[in-house]
Chain A
Amino acid sequence: MKNLFRSVMFVVAATMAFTSCSKDQENGLPVENEQGYLFSFGVEDNTRTSLAGNAIKWEAGDLAGVFVTGSIPPTANVSATIDLTKTPMVFNTTLKAAPAEGQTLYAYYPYTALSGANATAFPMSILTVQRQQEANIFNGANNPLVGLPVALTAADLQKVMPVVKFRQLGSIIEYKLFSTNAAYAAETVLSVAFTADKAMAGSFNVDLTAVSNTTDPVITGYTEQTITTRMSTAASIGVAKESASKIYMVVAPGTYSGAVTVTTDKAVYTFNITVAKDFKRAGIKELGVNLANADGRVARTAATYTKITSIDDLTTGEYIITATANATDYYAIPNAPNVITGKIAGQRVVVSNNTIQEKDAAGCVWTITKATGMTSPTPNNPTPAPYTYYTLNDGGQYLYHEQGGQRGDNLEYGMREVVQQWSVVYDANEFKFVGIRRTAVQRRGLFFNAATVAGVGSNVFGGYSTSGYKKLTLFKKSV
């Protein structure tokens, strides 16, 4: 029998990882420093939560979001970073004010950088485009979690670690891909999509203050009917279910019929689900997918992406957005990126003769749309001229630049369902993308840093000024 209350600890012990030892730290008291109050809560390795058997496992780099009510000023939606070196595992965060007895702490996962967010109606989502690094490895960032609220006691703030436990909002589908037709088994899988008869994805609001251990969480308000899981590394296909490749998808709990499509390097397979299936919250539904038994198979040709070399070439279409520091090693912005402290880890892609083959940049295709905007007339400018902007969409959401590059090093990138406008110039053989906010183009842009960024890794995309960092190289899908 499991001990239900020994697992994840929410530690208001603070600071061991960040500052030198002090008496207060030894006692586990929150400690003030220049940034605020360092605060820790406990929980475990590189990137997101994953599946360990049927358990949702914490991974290094995981960020949870935290609210603390009643502190002065209250803490609203700050990120908390996992520390796997502690036992139990600990999340660390910095609060604006020292937490106090009687206050309540709310947590969720994965962290989203949203200013002005409210714990009682916090926007979360079941992503319409989900990314999986490789076959059989679940990407927990696709699986939203909400923490049981913790009322902080005097003991919590002294020596005892209060416990935060996380409940699941979605339902996990584990597609097991194989083919009893040997010819199909030689193909590699790029993506799996499920279009349901009703909405099963998109954004919704969650009342984090109402998460309960006695009432299962229910989500409503999402509107999307299609979810696509894109592989960052094309997956092989087993020859039998015992050797099947596992590809995961998180859906909103519900009962759905519809169609599943599997896209490989050679074909698109369709499987009709005519009898609705039940996908339970916190459930893992194993669906065997034998390509030999598909309801339809349409052959396709693998795409090729070619480097573009002028602003005129940047028309609406599908692109691989890359950068390189040495003109040899190229990294692309992946779809459904994990954004860590405003930075996005690049995915290695292979460039040969100024082209990228589809299989060498799996899960990195963005739709760039060119459009025309118009500012509102002002007394000083009653007839403003139209301007050109671009949007970057991964098939589900837009790449967003918090504050449009107005802020400094702490500016945040993220993915949003709302359009984010970018200004683009072509300069010295590279493209410079800068966010537009209220039509004003900001200074800092989307640049590439080949160096190592703490907590993120090397070869990252982030908000930098031009000095020392690389602009972007774009590869457009050939038609």
Chain B
Amino acid sequence: MKNNANLISAGNVETPPPYFAPEVETLDVSVEQGFFTSVAYDDLYGTEDSVRDEYEEI
């Protein structure tokens, strides 16, 4: 295995490969991807909260 000292002494500066972080697979934790999220219920009525969609005209 080469080391930096050897590279310098040879007079030929060999550029070390740039450092790449190991590729990490990011996980998109969302309801759409099937991960469990708690269902929200109204505190007083115990009924599942509704989610209001954006207004649009027909």
Contacts and interface: CB of A to CB of B under 8 A. Distances in A.
Interface of A: 2-4, 6-9, 43-44, 49, 51-52, 54-58, 88-89, 145, 163-168, 172, 176, 213-214, 241, 260, 271, 273, 277, 280, 282-290, 293
B51 A56 contact: no
A57 B48 CA distance: 10
A263 B27 CA distance: 50
Q: Which 3 A-B pairs have the closest CB atoms?
A: A8-B46, A7-B46, A288-B57
A177 to B, nearest CB: 11
A273 B48 contact: no
Contacts of B41: 2, 4, 7-8, 165
Nearest to B53: A285
Contacts of B40: 2, 4
Contacts of A293: 57
A163 B39 CA distance: 15
Contacts of B45: 7-8, 43-44, 49, 52, 55-58, 89
B20 interface: no
Given A260-B58, A289-B58, A163 B46 contact: yes
Give the most central of B38, B47, B54, B56: most A CB within 10 Å: B47
5 contacts: A7-B45, A43-B45, A282-B48, A283-B52, A286-B52
B42 interface: yes
A29 to B, nearest CB: 23
Contacts of A164: 46
A283 B50 contact: yes
B48 A167 contact: yes
Contacts of A290: 57
Interface size range of chain B in the complex: 20 to 34
A287 B54 CA distance: 9
A167 B50 CA distance: 10
A354 to B, nearest CB: 41
Given A2-B40, A7-B41, A167-B39, A145 B56 contact: no
Contacts of B38: 4, 213
A289 to B, nearest CB: 6
Contacts of A89: 44-45
B43 interface: yes
B42 A284 contact: no
B50 A49 contact: no
A57 B43 CA distance: 11
B49 to A, nearest CB: 6
B19 interface: no
A214 B36 contact: yes
Contacts of B43: 2-3, 6-7
Contacts of A8: 41, 45-47
A109 to B, nearest CB: 9
Nearest to A140: B47
A6 B45 CA distance: 9
A43 B48 contact: no
Given A4-B38, A288-B58, A55 B53 contact: no
Given A4-B41, A57-B45, A287 B58 contact: yes
A184 to B, nearest CB: 15
Given A7-B43, A165-B41, A284 B53 contact: yes
A283 B31 CA distance: 15
Nearest to B51: A283
Contact of B47 (A2, A49, A241, A283): A49
Contacts of B48: 56, 145, 165-168, 282
Nearest to A295: B58
